[in-house]
Amino acid sequence: MSGKVSDNLGRSSGLIKAASAAGGGEITDLSDAWKNFNDVDTNTTTTAPSTKNYFLCGPISVTGAAVWTISGILRII
């Protein structure tokens, strides 16, 4: 997959680690917010097991010669 990844996209093939620094989804600092990356610029494989829900928010670009492989279902909202 290359180029721009559109909104509300379910794929059956990679996920990138997101939200691990968000303390299990709880934001306790008023100066912080939930956030994720917006550019995939190196080859990356993301695995979303069927026992979890995974999503990213906003436009995300896959740039250069990077390949983003998604295993499972990843929703971009």
Task: Write the pLDDT tens digit of every residue in 20-44.
Answer: 444 466 778 888 888 888 999 999 9
16: left (phi over 0), alpha (psi -120 to 50) or beta: beta
User: Tens digits of per-residue pLDDT, 54-72?
Assistant: 888 889 999 999 999 999 9
Domain boundaries, the chain: 1-20+35-77
Q: What's the mean pLDDT when you consider all of the chain?
A: 74
Pairing of strands 3-5, 60-62: antiparallel
In DSSP notation, 29-55 reads -TT-------EE-S-EEEE--TTS--E
